[in-house]
């Protein structure tokens, strides 16, 4: 008895399989093409809708820009103050007042002993005559000083300390105590208290910038959500028609997400310009402060990095606010 051999698929069946696979690939490409085309169309339509209502759009952009610019400006200001404080700390010196009867030879011998202390970077000797001449030039009391019978100023040694001492208040205190113990030293003066206060102020300012950023970021979400909610109500009939013909929730959601993205990016751009303009307005005052300490300090703005951070922050908040508004309000609009 013969076994029946399995039937091999004929050419017609193979052709049908090939046509089906080709058709599925074609439909997949068409869906991708249609999806990208709708994204491109929605991208430009959402921008055109913003341009159609310029007053409302500008007001919303300004609210978002101010909410982003306040914490960004505070953070940039703290960074500039931190940089200025670093420059001042770098130029900070300890003033060692020698006893009035200390001559130049005795002062040089004392300075040789000072150099043996840890943390000293350089020493500068200022004689009594040099101190008097400098005081006359800076104070303008030359006639009064000339009437004195003797020079009232003592010789001074200016001590420049290294970075380790600048960064460590305890090391600075220990160095000042070591210098004060020398028999030729009458007094030691160092402005360390205001430096510590400046550092504490900068840290508090940074924390305040972060807290303010979080609070105003929440405000941007609320503003964006309310703006998109009004846009949804204005387009209620359009949403009903789209859903009647089979439009999905993602299809309905897409235009509003692009609107939120445009608002966020525009607000971030305006915030960057506001921060930059504020720093330019403060440039003169900062330069005067730096001039008092004879520092070549230049005010630094948000820069390219800050530009992209504000754009990303604004775009992300705008997109998130739009998503929350659409998820809450657009889904409630259903045809009956």
Instruction: Encode pLDDT of 247-285 as tens digits.
Output: 677 778 888 889 999 999 999 999 999 998 888 887 777
As its CATH architecture, domain 93-190 has 2-Layer Sandwich (3.30)
Low-confidence ranges of the chain (pLDDT < 50): 1-2
Cα–Cα distance measured from residue 320 to residue 329, given in angstroms and rounded to the nearest whole number: 14
| CA dist list (Å): 102 to 142, 264, 318 | 24, 69, 71
Tokens of 208: 């305040």
Region for 119 from its dihedrals, namely left if φ exceeds 0, alpha if ψ lies in -120 to 50, beta otherwise: left
Whole-angstrom Cα Rg for the chain: 36
Query: Can you read off the two tokens belonging to residue 188?
Result: 């030691």
pLDDT at site 267 = 92
Q: Which two tokens stand for residue 288?
A: 């005067």
**Tens digits of residue pLDDT in 152-163:** 778 888 887 776
The sheet that has 185-189: what strands, in order across it?
Answer: 120-126, 156-161, 94-98, 185-189
Residue 154's contacts (CB-CB under 8 Å, 6 or more residues apart) are 97, 98, 99, 100, 102, 128, 131, 186
Other C-beta atoms closer than 10 Å to the C-beta of 36 total 10
> Each residue of 236-247: pLDDT tens digit?
888 788 777 776
Tokens of 248: 């999905």
What are the domain boundaries of the chain?
38-87+196-332, 93-190
Predicted local distance difference test score (pLDDT) of residue 272: 93
Contact 307, 265 (CB under 8 A): no
**Residue 222 to residue 209: CA distance in whole angstroms:** 20
Q: What's the confidence (pLDDT) of residue 1?
A: 44
Q: Three-class SS of residue 247?
A: coil
Instruction: Give residue 56's pLDDT.
Output: 86
**pTM to 2 decimals?**
0.61
């Amino acid at each position: 008895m013969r076994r029946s051999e399995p039937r091999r698929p004929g050419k017609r069946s193979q052709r049908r399989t090939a046509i089906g696979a080709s058709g599925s690939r074609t439909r997949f490409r068409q869906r991708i093409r249609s999806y990208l085309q709708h994204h491109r169309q929605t991208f430009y339509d959402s921008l055109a809708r913003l341009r159609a209502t310029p007053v409302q759009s500008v007001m919303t952009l300004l609210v978002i820009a101010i909410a982003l610019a306040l914490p960004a400006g505070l953070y940039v200001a703290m960074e500039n103050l931190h940089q200025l404080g670093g420059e001042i700390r770098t130029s900070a010196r300890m003033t060692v007042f020698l006893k009035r009867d200390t001559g130049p030879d005795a002062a040089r011998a004392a300075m040789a002993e000072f150099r043996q202390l840890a943390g000293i970077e350089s020493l500068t000797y200022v004689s009594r005559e040099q101190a008097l001449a400098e005081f006359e030039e800076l104070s303008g009391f030359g006639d009064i000083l000339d009437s004195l019978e003797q020079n009232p100023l003592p010789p001074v040694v200016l001590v420049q300390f290294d970075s380790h001492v600048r960064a460590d208040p305890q090391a600075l205190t220990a160095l000042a105590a070591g210098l004060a113990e020398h028999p030729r030293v009458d007094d030691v003066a160092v402005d360390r208290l205001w430096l510590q206060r400046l550092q504490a102020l900068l840290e508090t300012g940074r924390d305040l910038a972060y807290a303010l950023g979080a609070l105003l970021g929440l405000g941007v979400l609320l503003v964006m959500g309310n703006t998109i909610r009004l846009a949804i109500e204005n387009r209620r009939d359009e949403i009903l028609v789209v859903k009647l013909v089979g439009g999905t929730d993602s299809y309905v959601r897409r235009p509003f997400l692009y609107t939120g993205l445009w608002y966020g990016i525009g607000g971030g751009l305006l915030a960057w310009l506001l921060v930059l303009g504020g720093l330019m307005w403060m440039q003169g005052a900062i330069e005067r402060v730096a001039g008092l300490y004879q520092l070549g300090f230049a005010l630094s703005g948000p820069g390219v990095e800050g530009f992209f951070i504000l754009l990303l922050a604004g775009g992300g908040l705008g997109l998130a606010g739009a998503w929350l508004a659409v998820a809450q309000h657009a889904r409630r609009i259903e045809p009956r």
